[in-house]
């Protein structure tokens, strides 16, 4: 394998890792697009490599976010039960139904979420709704504003249901859960942007690991490509955690909005058969 | 006792660093070492769920222990599944 490819993969890994960690996405979709369009790799190899990349960015970013208490561990664990269950259901469903309709639907949902994010809803207006059952609270220090942000998770049942759907969709479409989980947590459950991103970033590693082994057994991992992509992602992910701390929540939301709109476009192209993985 | 966040942070960091080292070394010596790095990386999220489960067991926090157990179960099932 030639040096330019290694360098390009490492560099793109850094880019995807920093964006992914900053916004809580993992960066898997960006890597897939790079592998398929940029390097012309077969779809299954691209997916296998991108799953590894997601685990790398989730673990690297997660180690920083959880140390800094940005990640809401309990919330992540509760929602993980639904996303992993959904992912298994989605993987089973994918074997028996055409997914282009779902891709179009998800694309439309992402456009809606993107518009809401870009418009910029005011944050930290946590309504004092009574929370029944498992109550989850959280707090963190926003490094940008130097303020202590406290929040109570609301609409837990809705959040659990949406997480299940998110898992099913990510299993079906092969797009990481993060793209869907950050809007769910931020828009529906009113979790502040930074906590939502850190918590989602933490969760995506588990979902990716669950499907990674399936691809490993089939031997789809190109070991020599894995090294620059994983190492690049790790460096980028670490940088991403530093950048996220310094950035304003609204800026992050706007960036996420544009990324979601871009992903929606990718999904429409996928549904139309222009892209496939 | 060290809190659960710090413990998980250490696990994740160890997983990342060990796998990065194995992958980088393997690049120059032997691809089977890269493979070991890949495995360490892929196992890292499993181990962090497991450790969180053990922590909550130690805390006698039954709901979260059950939650962790369930996630591990689904993870194992899904890794055994065929495409």
State whether B44 and A84 contact (CB < 8 Å). no
Number of domains in chain B: 1
State whether A66 and B45 contact (CB < 8 Å). no
The tens digit of pLDDT for each residue in A190-231 reads 899 999 999 999 999 998 887 787 778 777 889 999 999 999
**Model-level pTM?**
0.90
State whether B20 and A231 contact (CB < 8 Å). yes
- The distance of B42 to chain A (nearest Cα, Å) reads 6
Q: Which of B4, B48, B75 sits opposite A210 (nearest CB)?
A: B75
A195 touches B: beta carbon within 8 Å: no
At residue A245, does pLDDT exceed 80? yes
Q: What is the pLDDT of residue A132?
A: 54
Q: Which one, of A58, A227, A228, lies nearest residue B36 by Cα?
A: A227
Phi and psi at residue A19, to the nearest 5°: -60, -45
State whether B12 and A91 contact (CB < 8 Å). no
Whether the Cβ atoms of residue A43 and residue A36 lie closer than 8 Å to each other: yes
Q: If DSSP states are collapsed to H, E and C, what string results for B6-45?
A: HHHHHHHHHHHHHHHHHHHHHHHCCHHHHHHHHHHHHHHH
Within-domain flag for A276? no
Residue A45 DSSP SS3: helix
At residue B59, does pLDDT exceed 70? yes
* Residue of B59, B70, B71, B77 for testing the chain A interface, max A β-carbons within 10 Å: B71
Residues of B in contact with A91 (CB under 8 A): 78, 81, 83
Residue in chain A closest to B29 (alpha carbons) equals A224
| Half-sphere exposure (Cβ direction) of A219: Cα atoms closer than 13 Å | 0
Rounded CA-CA distance A50/A35 in Å is 8
Interface of A with B in 54-93 (CB under 8 A): 55-56, 58-60, 62-64, 66-67, 69, 71, 73-74, 77-78, 80-81, 84-85, 87-88, 91
DSSP H or E run through A140: strand A137-142
Strand A147-152 to A137-142 pairing? antiparallel
The tens digit of pLDDT for each residue in A110-150 reads 888 888 778 765 555 554 454 555 678 888 999 888 889 99
The tens digit of pLDDT for each residue in A15-60 reads 999 999 999 988 888 898 899 888 988 888 888 898 899 999 999 9
The pLDDT-based confidence of A109 (bands split at 50, 70, 90) is confident
State whether B52 and A88 contact (CB < 8 Å). no
A248 touches B: beta carbon within 8 Å: no
Residue A142 DSSP SS3: strand
At residue B83, does pLDDT exceed 70? no
Range of the domain at A14: 3-271
Q: What is the mean pLDDT of chain A?
A: 86
Within-domain flag for A277? no
Residues of A in contact with B78 (CB under 8 A): 84, 87-88, 91, 210-211, 214
Range of the domain at B15: 4-80
Q: What is the pLDDT of residue A123?
A: 54
Interface ipTM: 0.93
Which whole-number Å values give the CA distances from A88 to A6, A84, A93, A178, A210, in the listed order?
Answer: 33, 6, 9, 16, 9
């Amino acid at each position: 394998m030639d040096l330019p490819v290694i360098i390009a993969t490492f560099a793109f890994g850094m880019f995807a890792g920093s964006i992914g960690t900053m916004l809580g996405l993992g960066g898997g979709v960006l890597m897939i697009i790079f592998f398929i369009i940029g390097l012309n790799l077969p779809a299954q190899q691209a997916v296998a490599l991108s799953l590894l990349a997601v685990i790398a960015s989730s673990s690297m970013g997660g180690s920083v976010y959880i140390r800094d208490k940005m990640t809401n561990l309990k919330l992540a664990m509760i929602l993980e039960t639904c996303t992993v269950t959904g992912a298994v259901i989605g993987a089973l469903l994918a074997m028996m139904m055409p997914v282009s309709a779902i891709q179009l639907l998800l694309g439309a949902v992402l456009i809606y979420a993107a518009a809401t994010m870009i418009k910029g809803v005011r944050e930290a207006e946590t309504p004092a709704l009574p929370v029944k059952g498992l109550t989850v609270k959280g707090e963190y220090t926003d490094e940008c504003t130097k303020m202590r942000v406290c929040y109570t998770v609301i609409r837990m049942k809705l959040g659990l249901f949406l997480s299940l759907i998110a898992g099913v969709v990510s299993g079906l479409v092969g797009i990481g859960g993060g793209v869907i989980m950050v809007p769910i947590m931020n828009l529906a459950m009113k979790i502040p942007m930074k906590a939502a991103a850190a918590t989602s970033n933490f969760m995506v590693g588990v979902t990716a690991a669950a499907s990674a082994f399936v691809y490993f057994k089939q031997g789809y991992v190109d070991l020599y490509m894995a090294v620059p992509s994983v190492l690049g992602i790790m460096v980028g992910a670490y940088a991403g955690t530093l950048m996220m701390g310094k950035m304003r929540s609204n800026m992050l939301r706007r960036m996420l909005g544009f990324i979601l709109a871009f992903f929606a476009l990718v999904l429409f192209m996928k549904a139309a058969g222009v892209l496939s993985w | 006792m060290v809190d659960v966040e710090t413990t998980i942070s250490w696990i994740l960091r160890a997983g990342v660093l060990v796998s990065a080292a194995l992958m980088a070394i393997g690049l120059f010596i032997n691809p089977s070492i890269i493979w070991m790095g890949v495995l360490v990386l892929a196992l890292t999220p499993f181990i962090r769920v497991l450790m969180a489960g053990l922590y909550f067991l130690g805390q006698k926090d039954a709901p979260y222990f059950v939650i962790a157990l369930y996630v591990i179960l689904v993870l194992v099932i899904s890794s055994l599944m065929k495409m």
